[in-house]
Chains A and B, each alone.
Chain A
Amino acid sequence: MRALVAVAALLTASLPYHLAAQDAARVAEAQTVLAPLVESYGVSGAEGPVREAVQRLLPAWARSETDTAGNLWVRVGQGSPVVVVVAHLDEIGFRVTGIRDDGTLELENRGGFFPSLFEAKPALVHTDQGDVAGVFLPRDSGFTRRTPPPLRIDVGAGSRANAMARGVSPGATVTMPKQYVRLSGTRATGRSFDDRVGATAQLIALRRLDRAALKHQVIFIWSVREEIGLEGAEAAAAALGTTPRRVHAIDTFVSADSPLEPPNFAVAPIGRGAVARALDNSSITPPGYVDSLVRIARARGIALQVGTTNGGNDGSVFTPYGVVDVPIGWPLRYSHSPAEVIDLRDVVSLADMIRAVAETW
C-alpha cells in the first residue's frame, strides 16, 4: 500500500493543474450541472425534487426507472460482469416531529451534523403546499456551550392551528435556504455538495460515455436515504444480489484540507483530483483494486489521489453479496456544513474517472 500511495503522489505531482481552455470548458460544464442540483432540496426520505432534477439532466438517450425505494436507475451496455456506480440524492436536514401550542415546530435530525450550524438561521419547511419560511430559534439560555438545546422553528404562525393552516404538519422535512456560489478561481461553496457532486459526476460521465466501448453492463444508480443509514443502496444491493462484480460508490472524500483539521489522515487537498477512498468506516478496498484504479487514471491522464477518510459509503452494503466496493470520492472541505467548499476541477476529474472505469474496467 505504501508503494501505491507513493505512485499516487507521483501521479498527482506530475499532473499540474493549469486551466487550459479545454479545462475551462469542462469546469463550466460541471458547474452547469452541479448548480441546479445543489439548489434542489432533498432531505433523506424526501428526495423527489433532486431525483427530478437528475432526470431532467440525463442525456436524451438514457432510459431511467425509479425503484420502490426511490432510487433512480439507468442501465447502459449489456453482459457480464455487471458494474454498479452509485451516488446519493439525499442531504442532511430535519423532520418535523410535532407542533407546539404556540405554533413552533419540534424537530428531529436526519443525518449527522452540528446543530449549532442551524441555530438562529433562516429555515425552510418543505410541505405539500410548497416551502414555508421560518427561522431556527436561538436558544434562550445556556450560552456557555456551543451545542444548542434541541432546535425548534418559528414560522410566525403563533398557534398550532395557524401553522397547520400553512400546510405544516409532522413529517414535513426542514432545511435552510441554500445557494450555489462561485468562489475564487475554480472553487465554489454551497450546502449538500455531499453528494450532489457525485450525482453530477455520474451525469457528466453518462453524457460523455462512449457506449460502443462498453464491454459489459454498467448500472448508474442515484440512491436515496444514504445519510440515515445507506437505506436506498441496501434496497438496490438486495435487488441485484450477487450479480454485480464491483460497485463504485461515488461520494464525498471528507478532506482534512483545512486549518482546523489534524493532518493524521484524510489528507487530500481540494483541486488535485478525485480520490480513491481506499479505507473508511464502512469498507476497505482490496489493494489490488486500488492499484487498478490508479493504473486507469494514469492511462487516461486523470488526476487521482489515494487516501483514507471517515464516513460510510453506499457501496459497503453490496459487499455482503460478494461485490467488491471500490469507492471513488472527491475532496470536500467543511462537510455537512452550510458552507461546504469544493474545487470544480475535482468534479471534472471524478466524472472522467467514472467514465474511464465504465469504458475500460
Chain B
Amino acid sequence: MPSKSNRAVGRYGGKAVAVAVALLTALPAYPLAAQGDLDRLAIRFASMTAVTGLEQAMTDSLRALFPGSVRDRAGNVTLTLGQGSPKRLCTCPLDEVGYVVGNILPDGYLLLRRVGGGGRSASPLFDQQLEGHRVTVFGTRGAVPGVVAVKSTHLTRGRVATGGGAPDPVFTVDNAYVDVGATSAAEVQSLGITVLAPVSLAKRPQLYGERLLAAPAAGRRAACAALAAAVQAKPTVKGTVVVAFTVQSLYASDAGLASVKALLGPFDDVKTAVLPARYADTAVETVALADADRLVRDIAQWMEGR
C-alpha cells in the first residue's frame, strides 16, 4: 500500500505536483477530504434536483451539511470562513435547467414548461431527453415519480413513413405529457402536485470507467462537491473567504451571484469552482472525479492564499 503522498504523486505525476503535495502535507495540517468522501458528495449532489429559481430542496441539504451557513434573501447558501482582509468569494452555481408543471389536465396528465437556460438557448435535443423516461415531480408532499409519455413503437408501424426525407422532428417540451399514474386532476392534487412544482429527469448518477461520473449537470454538481469538500477540509483561511452556493445562475440574469456580491461584497477576488465536462447538457454529462480531486486542492490552496 503506497503512502498518501506517493499515491498522489503517482496519480498526478510531475515534479511540480510532487512539490505542491509535499507543501500541502507539510503546512499546518488540514485533512484533505478522502477521495471516497468526495465521490460520495459528488454522487449525492448529482442525485439532487435544483431547477433554477426553485433550488430550495438542495439548499436545505447544503445548510444541513454546513451548520452555521445561512440562506440569503435570494436563496443562496453562504458560509463565512476566517476574518479580516482580504475578503474573497469562492462560489459555485448549483442550479440546473429543468421544468415546472405548467398545467394539470382533467385526465391526470401534467404539462410542462421549461425553466432556465440563461442567455443561451437550450440544445434542440434537450427536451428529447425526457421522452419515454422517468421524471420526478417535486410536490408539496414529497417527490412523486412519473414518466413522460411516448408513442408505442408497435402502434407507429404502418402509420409513419420511414423512407428518406420523412419527417423526423425532435421531441419538444410542448409534447411532454407527464403520467404519474393519476386518473384525474383531483388525484394529482392529492399527491401534492400543483402548478409550478419542479420537474426533472429521475436522477440516477452512473459511475463508469475510472471514476467517471455521469448525470444531468454532473459538471456543476461535482464542482460544488469539490467546493464543499474543500470547506470540510478546514483550510487555514487567509483573511475572509465567503463560500457561496449560488442560485438562479441560469435564468434571465445571474441573480444569485449578483445578490451575494451586493449583500456581502465587495470582494477582493472571486473564484468560481468549475470542472470540465464531456457530453455537456445531456443526461450523461460526464466529469472525471480525478479532476474534482485537483479542484479540491486548488480551492483549498486558494483559500489559504497560496
- Is B209 touching A157 in the complex (CB atoms < 8 A)? yes
Inter-chain contacts of A185 with B (CB < 8 A) = 181-183, 187
Q: How far is the CB of B116 from chain A (nearest CB, A)?
A: 19
- Is B145 touching A189 in the complex (CB atoms < 8 A)? yes
Instruction: Report A132-162 residues with CB < 8 Å from chain B CB.
Output: 132-139, 143-147, 154-158
Task: Look across to chain A and name the residue whose beta carbon is closest to the beta carbon of B153.
Answer: A336
Inter-chain contacts of A187 with B (CB < 8 A) = 181
Complex alpha-carbon distance, A161 and B150, angstroms: 38
- Is B150 touching A260 in the complex (CB atoms < 8 A)? yes
Asked if A183 is an interface residue, CB under 8 A from chain B, the answer is yes
Complex alpha-carbon distance, A358 and B223, angstroms: 60
- Is B153 touching A122 in the complex (CB atoms < 8 A)? no
Task: Using known A-B contacts A117-B132, A157-B209, determine if residue A146 contacts B171 with beta carbons closer than 8 Å.
Answer: yes
Complex alpha-carbon distance, A71 and B152, angstroms: 27
- Is A156 touching B168 in the complex (CB atoms < 8 A)? no
Task: Look across to chain A and name the residue whose beta carbon is closest to the beta carbon of B211.
Answer: A156
Task: Look across to chain B and name the residue whose beta carbon is closest to the beta carbon of A124.
Answer: B206
Complex alpha-carbon distance, A262 and B129, angstroms: 23
B152: which of A154, A156, A281, A336 is its contact (CB, 8 Å)?
A336
Instruction: Report A117-139 residues with CB < 8 Å from chain B CB.
Output: 117, 120-122, 132-139
- Is B147 touching A146 in the complex (CB atoms < 8 A)? no
* A interface, size bucket: 35 or more
B155: which of A120, A132, A254, A259 is its contact (CB, 8 Å)?
A254
B209: which of A156, A177, A184, A281 is its contact (CB, 8 Å)?
A156
- Is A334 touching B132 in the complex (CB atoms < 8 A)? yes
Inter-chain contacts of B168 with A (CB < 8 A) = 145-147
Asked if B96 is an interface residue, CB under 8 A from chain A, the answer is no
Asked if B74 is an interface residue, CB under 8 A from chain A, the answer is no
Inter-chain contacts of B279 with A (CB < 8 A) = 120, 135, 137-138
Task: Using known A-B contacts A156-B210, A185-B182, determine if residue A254 contacts B154 with beta carbons closer than 8 Å.
Answer: yes
Mask of B119-135 contacts with A, CB within 8 angstroms, 1/0: 00001110011011110
Chain B interface, number of residues (Cβ within 8 angstroms): 52
Instruction: Report B251-306 residues with CB < 8 Å from chain A CB.
Output: 279, 282-284, 286
Complex alpha-carbon distance, A333 and B187, angstroms: 19
- Is A333 touching B152 in the complex (CB atoms < 8 A)? yes
Complex alpha-carbon distance, A188 and B179, angstroms: 10
Asked if B214 is an interface residue, CB under 8 A from chain A, the answer is yes
Inter-chain contacts of B169 with A (CB < 8 A) = 145-146
Task: Look across to chain A and name the residue whose beta carbon is closest to the beta carbon of B130.
Answer: A339
| The stretch of A42-50, A59-67, A108-116, A348-356 that contacts the partner chain | A108-116
Task: Look across to chain B and name the residue whose beta carbon is closest to the beta carbon of A121.
Answer: B283
- Is A258 touching B206 in the complex (CB atoms < 8 A)? no
B150: which of A114, A121, A144, A310 is its contact (CB, 8 Å)?
A114
- Is A259 touching B171 in the complex (CB atoms < 8 A)? no
Inter-chain contacts of A281 with B (CB < 8 A) = 157
Task: Using known A-B contacts A137-B279, A147-B168, A187-B181, determine if residue A338 contacts B134 with beta carbons closer than 8 Å.
Answer: yes
Mask of B164-205 contacts with A, CB within 8 angstroms, 1/0: 000011110001010111110001000100000000000010
Task: Look across to chain A and name the residue whose beta carbon is closest to the beta carbon of B215.
Answer: A122
| Residue in B134, B154, B158 with the greatest tally of chain A CB atoms within 10 Å | B154
A112: which of B124, B125, B153, B207 is its contact (CB, 8 Å)?
B153
Asked if B146 is an interface residue, CB under 8 A from chain A, the answer is yes
Q: How far is the CB of B169 from chain A (nearest CB, A)?
A: 6
Inter-chain contacts of A135 with B (CB < 8 A) = 206, 208, 214, 279, 284, 286
Inter-chain contacts of B128 with A (CB < 8 A) = 116, 146
Complex alpha-carbon distance, A281 and B207, angstroms: 42
Complex alpha-carbon distance, A187 and B169, angstroms: 30
Asked if A285 is an interface residue, CB under 8 A from chain B, the answer is no
- Is A120 touching B283 in the complex (CB atoms < 8 A)? yes
- Is B155 touching A183 in the complex (CB atoms < 8 A)? no
A156: which of B150, B177, B208 is its contact (CB, 8 Å)?
B208
- Is A260 touching B153 in the complex (CB atoms < 8 A)? no
A113: which of B134, B153, B212 is its contact (CB, 8 Å)?
B153
Complex alpha-carbon distance, A144 and B257, angstroms: 34
Inter-chain contacts of B182 with A (CB < 8 A) = 184-185
Q: How far is the CB of A223 from chain B (nearest CB, A)?
A: 18
- Is A341 touching B181 in the complex (CB atoms < 8 A)? yes
Known contacts A281-B157, A333-B152, A341-B181; can you find 8 more A-B pairs with CB under 8 A?
Answer: A117-B150, A120-B282, A183-B145, A183-B147, A185-B183, A259-B177, A338-B134, A341-B147
- A: residues with CB less than 8 A from B are 112-114, 116-117, 120-122, 132-139, 143-147, 154-158, 177, 179, 181-185, 187-189, 254-256, 258-262, 266, 271, 281, 309-311, 332-339, 341
- B: residues with CB less than 8 A from A are 107, 109, 123-125, 128-129, 131-134, 144-155, 157-159, 168-171, 175, 177, 179-183, 187, 191, 204, 206-210, 212, 214, 279, 282-284, 286
What would be 19 A-B contacts, judged by CB atoms less than 8 Å apart?
A: A114-B150, A120-B279, A133-B207, A135-B284, A138-B282, A145-B170, A146-B170, A156-B209, A177-B204, A184-B181, A187-B181, A255-B152, A259-B107, A260-B151, A310-B155, A334-B149, A334-B151, A336-B152, A336-B153
5 pairs of A and B residues whose beta carbons are closest in the complex: A156-B209, A183-B181, A187-B181, A339-B147, A184-B181
